[in-house]
Chains A and B, each alone.
Chain A
């Protein structure tokens, strides 16, 4: 049903450049819906205890949250067809309260579904080749990737066929469905790391090997949460045919030796840290020697088959133009911040900002989803991508059509020209929705937006990543924000700890705490003071991050804690 997409509006998808289910995928997803329907029935009939059902529902993306269940749906490596996005919008309207929330790991979350209706939602998702399999629980999660895969000029090779290979291998893996803790894999193929792969349990980087062949650099042991750690290299170069056997060896070592006695010490990063990367590598390689030539060897035909799903669309032969020339300031700002380079002349990749000042970061309404789906058909070959920074992306827009696209997005509140700036914040849902959170994040985002509403100032500050988590589980990746904000509970009150100097890209680093946490209303003033130091001390072309790295935390700390916040 994804093909032959004639819409009433008359637009047609002229490519399906994404993975399409065959009989195997279809059968498995349908059988999973039936299995989960039966598990839900047994729970509601009292045949399964809360605890027993918890382990089962979590492996299908279903949390029981503060107000209602929360259902997390996978968007494998961030790729959506317009038909899938329409289905997500329709589900938001009929089963939820008319919106969804995109996460930092290329998932969408529904915050208000009814438990007894979840099997029906899953059945509808299966109709458009989607699922919530392994989007939570102690198993291998959704494989994430670069949202600019296939279109970015700095790419060695398109990572998506490999992502799909990993998606299939990890789905219902019989040995690794009851791991010590969750396990997240990210794959990138470009010089820039747009998937935060260094803070994943395993990061897979496509690299060129000594003989010129493409293969993989494998990192392990990265992660955020209570103990943030940057991943370390397990293998500098892995020949491509061994990708799955090597991942399987890493997972087997982790499954057998990762700690299970303490949830806070159960991630693979703790195992790697405690035995050291050399010993970890030795164990993985020893295991891999036994299995590398097993049935997991990736054959060329299979990877060729998967590559066939990600062929470039039918680009028109165009030359680069300057669509912003002579246009309004508003369009020029949007074009500069919300579009980015494309490897094909005449095309741009276009961000759809989900960071409107009065909307929770990553939230989108049902009608916006449907509008974006229609625009994707008109402007970007019927495809939409979800970014790690909780925005959407049209990967293939003709430069000369960006003005027309902008006009429509602008009317729908989807053209906030702030990509890569302070207000393009990453945030978890926080205390308002999540039962784990210590503090709100949505209202803090709102306070920050109110304080920093001057675009000239935002643009002058340049590239700035603000990331906010409502608790130390770090779903908002605060450790790797240039400015990180962590909600903490201080005798029943919501306070915020501020870190600076973190980064998630190829130069990943962890932020440093500047001092005692601050009250909610003081968060904007604290950020303003940090930025004052930056503006005073920066050299030409230095980003906030660069100044923090050059000067250290001290001058920032002095300024922030010099006198009581004015706010």
Chain B
């Protein structure tokens, strides 16, 4: 059964494969680990398929800097309920490195983190089934935010204190 995803606010079947899943389907869009990408760069570039790469929490985003345009997808891995580096990775990718492709949160991703992840720039999420059904509500947990952020993964425009309200409100 194909993996279900939440992407841009919609529940969809995943059209991407990780390397272990991609056997016998040489044209399918392919997600590599950073190690797989770095060890065999020329081989992947020679293939006529869309490429994605997944960062571990400890990876610095700058490792992708020179190649960022080659990826249609970048993933960040959340190793457990306490992991939080992916939020900064996402903001750096969106705001500093201007990554406009699919930014995917994977690993320990639940409805309770979804809103913050979407505000940081993730627009696709690998979620357990129970959470995927609840995702729409989760993305609307809050209808305002205080801080500016890129909000790239929120399907609806969020109202923000420091941009959307007049200072004298």
Interface flags, A146-185, vs B, CB<8A=1, else 0: 0000000000000000000000110111111111100000
Partner of A27, one of B88, B143, B148, B169: B143
CB proximity of B64 to chain A, nearest CB, Å: 15
Return chain B residues, CB-CB under 8 Å to A179. 84
Partner of B167, one of A24, A172, A290, A302: A302
Q: Which of B13-21, B33-41, B66-74, B112-120 contacts A (4 or more CB under 8 A)?
A: B112-120
A301 to B95, CA, bound (A): 26
Main SS of the interface on chain A? Answer: helix
Q: Which of B1-9, B43-51, B158-166 contacts A (4 or more CB under 8 A)?
A: B158-166
Return chain B residues, CB-CB under 8 Å to A55. 81-82
Knowing A22-B169, A305-B167, say if A175 contacts B81 (CB, 8 Å): no
CB proximity of A48 to chain B, nearest CB, Å: 9
Return chain B residues, CB-CB under 8 Å to A562. none
Knowing A174-B149, A176-B87, A305-B167, say if A168 contacts B161 (CB, 8 Å): yes
Interface flags, A165-208, vs B, CB<8A=1, else 0: 00011011111111110000000000000000000000000000
Q: Say yes or no: B83 contacts A178, CB within 8 Å.
A: yes
CB proximity of B169 to chain A, nearest CB, Å: 6
Q: Say yes or no: A174 contacts B147, CB within 8 Å.
A: yes
Q: Say yes or no: A172 contacts B168, CB within 8 Å.
A: no
Interface residues of B in 135-150 (CB under 8 A from A): 141-149
B130 at the interface (CB under 8 A from A): yes
A39 at the interface (CB under 8 A from B): yes
Q: Report the count of interface residues on A (CB-CB < 8 A).
A: 41
Q: Which of A291-299, A321-329, A372-380, A440-448 contacts B (4 or more CB under 8 A)?
A: A291-299
A52 to B168, CA, bound (A): 41
Return chain A residues, CB-CB under 8 Å to B116. 172, 174-175, 177
* B88, B95, B169 pick with most chain A CB within 10 angstroms: B88
Nearest B residue (CB) for A55 = B81
Q: Report the count of interface residues on B (CB-CB < 8 A).
A: 39
Q: Say yes or no: B81 contacts A51, CB within 8 Å.
A: yes
Q: Say yes or no: A24 contacts B146, CB within 8 Å.
A: yes
Q: Which of A233-241, A252-260, A347-355, A412-420 contacts B (4 or more CB under 8 A)?
A: A252-260
CB proximity of A98 to chain B, nearest CB, Å: 34
* A22, A138, A175 pick with most chain B CB within 10 angstroms: A175
A-B pairs under 8 A by CB, number: 98
A117 at the interface (CB under 8 A from B): no
Q: Say yes or no: B162 contacts A295, CB within 8 Å.
A: yes
Q: Say yes or no: A175 contacts B120, CB within 8 Å.
A: yes
Nearest A residue (CB) for B159 = A24
A295 to B162, CA, bound (A): 8
A450 at the interface (CB under 8 A from B): no
B91 at the interface (CB under 8 A from A): yes
Return chain B residues, CB-CB under 8 Å to A171. 146
Knowing A31-B141, A39-B112, say if A295 contacts B87 (CB, 8 Å): no
* B84, B89, B142 pick with most chain A CB within 10 angstroms: B84
CB proximity of A421 to chain B, nearest CB, Å: 41
Nearest B residue (CB) for A294 = B148
Chain A to chain B contacts (Cβ below 8 Å), 15 pairs: A27-B144, A31-B141, A32-B142, A51-B81, A55-B82, A175-B88, A175-B116, A178-B82, A178-B113, A180-B84, A252-B91, A291-B95, A294-B95, A295-B162, A296-B148
Q: Which residues of B contact A (CB under 8 A)?
A: 57, 60, 81-85, 87-89, 91, 95-96, 110, 112-113, 115-117, 119-120, 130, 141-149, 159, 161-163, 165, 167-169
Q: Which residues of A contact B (CB under 8 A)?
A: 22-24, 27-28, 31-32, 35, 39, 47, 51-52, 55-56, 138, 168-169, 171-180, 252, 255-256, 260, 290-291, 294-296, 299, 301-302, 304-305
Give the 10 A-B CB pairs with smallest separation, nearest first. A178-B84, A295-B148, A301-B167, A174-B119, A174-B116, A168-B146, A55-B81, A175-B87, A24-B144, A255-B88
Given contacts A177-B87, A255-B87, list 13 more A-B pairs with CB under 8 A. Answer: A27-B142, A28-B142, A169-B147, A174-B116, A174-B147, A175-B149, A177-B116, A178-B87, A252-B91, A256-B89, A294-B95, A295-B162, A305-B167
